[in-house]
Amino acid sequence: MPQTVLRIDASARREGSVSRDLTDRILARLAPEAQVTVRDLAHGLPLIDADWVEANFTQAEARTPAQRQTLALSDTLVAELTAADLIVIGLPIYNFGVPAALKAWVDQVARAGVTFRYTEAGPEGLLTGKRAIVAVASGGTEAGSEIDFATGYLRHVLGFIGITEVEVVAADRLMLDADSSLKKASAQVDTLRAA
């Protein structure tokens, strides 16, 4: 069983969110006694800007106090991710892609020299040995289809920073057949292996 879990909720909805419900169920099954850090993105995250980029590409020992403050949230988000054995992400598909707040989270944690590095053989993720489960909810987009630009993107980003064990639980196409979709997702949760 995982000891430390990072739960990321990307749904703008706090009530009636299918992705939040799936995340609840995944955690109840796999990590009922784990220490869970919750990162709720419902209110968004700051977007990276020129000051952030400059601070990020300044050597840590040379950063000014203002630059350290600029990166403080990013450092916290990276620390949450680094500490977790299991990452559970509630991913609603908005307009075929990830919610803007989740993209902002990705931009804050994908940092060269911190969560990945470039080598002569190409990029290398530094956050290895972790497992991620992505709880997908969509109204009309079929998870994994050619119009789903969310799950493949998130799987790629996680792999890029070293998290290659990524599983997807999908309650997709809810507007077409919610009952069947929810039953399918529930069955997927029930078959997730515990460790």
Q: Which residues are annotated as a binding site for FMN?
A: 11, 17-19
**pLDDT at residue 1 greater than cutoff 80:** no
Region of 96 (left: φ > 0; alpha: ψ -120 to 50; beta: rest) is left
Q: How far apart are CA 39 and CA 21, in angstroms?
A: 15
**pLDDT at residue 195 greater than cutoff 80:** no
**pLDDT at residue 2 greater than cutoff 70:** no
Looking at residue 129, what is its pLDDT?
A: 96
The rounded Cα 148 to chain-centroid distance in angstroms is: 16
The number of distinct structural domains making up the chain is 1
pTM over 0.85: yes
- Structural domain contains residue 143: yes
Q: Which residues are annotated as a binding site?
A: 11, 17-19
CATH number at residue 51: 3.40.50.360
- Structural domain contains residue 111: yes
Looking at residue 143, what is its pLDDT?
A: 96
- Structural domain contains residue 195: no
Q: Name the pLDDT band for 43 (thresholds 50, 70, 90).
A: very high
- Structural domain contains residue 23: yes
| Model confidence pLDDT, tens digit, residues 44-95 | 999 999 999 999 999 999 999 999 999 999 999 999 999 999 999 999 999 9
Which tokens hold the place of 50? Answer: 């020129």
Which tokens hold the place of 68? Answer: 């350290």
In total, the chain counts a number of residues equal to 195
Looking at residue 3, what is its pLDDT?
A: 87
- Structural domain contains residue 49: yes
| Model confidence pLDDT, tens digit, residues 82-136 | 999 999 999 999 999 999 999 999 999 999 999 999 999 999 999 999 999 999 9
| Model confidence pLDDT, tens digit, residues 140-192 | 999 999 999 999 999 999 999 999 999 999 999 999 999 999 999 999 999 99
Q: Domain range holding 60?
A: 4-190
